[in-house]
Amino acid sequence: SGVGASNGILIKQGVALEKLSSVTHYVFDKTGTLTEGKLRLVKRFTAEGISPQTVLQIAASAEQQSEHGIAKTIISAAQQENLPLLEISRFNASPGRGVEADIEGQKILVGTAEWMTLHDIKLNGEWQSQVNQLEQQGISGVFVARDQKLIGILGLFDTLRDDAKNVIADMLAQGLKVTVLSGDRQLVVDSVTADLGNIQRLAEVLPAEKRQVIQRLQQQGDFVAMVGDGINDSPALIQADVGIALASGTDVSIESADIILSHNQLSQVALARQLAARTLRTIRQNIVLSISYNVIMVPLAMMALVSPLLAAITMPISSLLVIGNAARISRIVKIGRAH
């Protein structure tokens, strides 16, 4: 635990390390975990007669009370354009879908295509094709509607973390299974993770379903670690055999995890794996070491073949051997980090 902590890996309970060394399947959340979670507003489409500023201002106002990364991005984009947030009178968030709010007596919806359909707002061919074009470039389209009419689409883009490609390539090379689990659209997930090779890509998974996906993998016989950052990942973090949260995530996800990565780097997942394997090996070596000592020395002592002085010297030496062997872990993990 100490070696982990000094490398930014906080392990809540020792048993997590033990379990981590037997994980066969790693499941990663997309937004904020595989990607940096620094979404940027890169494109905007508007309905006829509506200005891009209006769409942004209305969306940002409706998102005021949401803790989602999308909300934060939209609000800061509005602030950059000096658009004041309008007062809202009612607010409701639907996890994995979007938000609704009332502004000046008008009903505002911000979220996925499904969120619009649920409110009987039809997406005709033109809106479909606009959002399709965005998704093919890995840009997530967020729809904005006012009083049952679509007024615009905000295109948000997020880049993969620098180390995502290497970490996943290593896992695949070691014969581990890797899955990306996202609430975003399939096209976006495919495009953003295109460089990650032969992994499973599950998209449009609602927060409540993320837990079921983990459960299904477990029923197939996999020992699953879930890596996530958002509130919506918490049930999956708890369901997984090992839950790993990025410290940049929400308090809820950190609370639900067994291991927390405080430097927010995916390479720490690999380091935690190495630490887990190494710790377990050391524990086994130490058990063999101390049992051997006792098996040899206790009968000798019973036969009065060990003088009190020799016993007084060898007993602490056996403890020191075990401690010394454990201390070697720190050296090996530091080498691992430099690598």
Closest residue to ligand ADP, based on beta-carbon distance: 183
Which of 77, 78, 139, 142 is in the footprint of ligand ADP by CB under 6 A?
A: 142
Closest separation in Å from C-beta 59 to ligand ADP: 8
Binding mask 290-329 for ligand ADP (x = CB under 6 A): ----------------------------------------
* Residue 184 binds Mg ion, judged by CB under 5 A: no
Q: Which stretch binds ligand ADP (CB under 6 A): 17-25, 94-102, 160-168, 258-266?
A: 94-102
* Residue 32 binds Mg ion, judged by CB under 5 A: yes
Which of 28, 55, 111, 193 is in the footprint of ligand ADP by CB under 6 A?
A: 111
Q: Which stretch binds ligand ADP (CB under 6 A): 104-112, 116-124, 126-134, 213-221?
A: 104-112
Binding mask 66-85 for ligand ADP (x = CB under 6 A): x-x-xx--------------
Element spanning 300, H or E: helix 267-302
Annotated catalytic, 258? no
Site for ligand ADP in 157-216 (CB under 6 A): 182-184, 207
Q: Which of 29, 184, 229, 258 is catalytic?
A: 29
Residues 6+ apart with CB under 8 A from 195: 160, 165
Q: Do 163 and 266 touch, CB atoms closer than 8 A? A: yes
Residues 6+ apart with CB under 8 A from 38: 158, 159
Q: Tell me how far apart the 2 most distant CA atoms of the chain are, in Å.
A: 100
Residues 6+ apart with CB under 8 A from 231: 67, 95, 207, 250, 252, 253
Element spanning 134, H or E: helix 125-136
**Strands (DSSP E) along 147-247, which ranges?**
149-157, 177-181, 200-202, 224-228, 242-246
Q: Beta strands 98-103 and 90-94: pairing type?
A: antiparallel
Beta carbon nearer to ligand ADP, 179 or 279: 179
Partner touching 71 among ligand ADP, Mg ion, none, CB below 5 to 8 Å by kind: ligand ADP
Provide the residue type at 155 as one letter. Answer: G
Which of 20, 110, 196, 227 is in the footprint of ligand ADP by CB under 6 A?
A: 110
Closest separation in Å from C-beta 8 to Mg ion: 20
Q: Which stretch binds Mg ion (CB under 5 A): 5-13, 26-34, 189-197, 250-258?
A: 26-34
* Residue 46 binds ligand ADP, judged by CB under 6 A: no
Beta carbon nearer to ligand ADP, 4 or 230: 230
* Residue 230 binds Mg ion, judged by CB under 5 A: yes
Partner touching 189 among ligand ADP, Mg ion, none, CB below 5 to 8 Å by kind: none
Distance of CA 60 to the CA centre of its chain: 25
* Residue 222 binds Mg ion, judged by CB under 5 A: no
Site for ligand ADP in 221-250 (CB under 6 A): 230, 232
Order the strands of the 90-94 sheet from edge to edge.
40-46, 149-157, 140-146, 106-111, 98-103, 90-94
Q: What is the DSSP letter of 179?
A: E
* Residue 29 binds ligand ADP, judged by CB under 6 A: yes
Phi-psi region of 172 (alpha: psi -120 to 50; beta: other; left: phi over 0): alpha
What are the distances in angstroms from CA 260 to CA 169, 266, 269?
A: 22, 11, 10
Q: What is the DSSP letter of 140?
A: E
Q: Which stretch binds ligand ADP (CB under 6 A): 107-115, 252-260, 262-270, 299-307?
A: 107-115
Q: Do 75 and 60 touch, CB atoms closer than 8 A? A: yes
Binding site for Mg ion (CB under 5 A): 29, 31-32, 229-230
Could you list the active site residues? 29
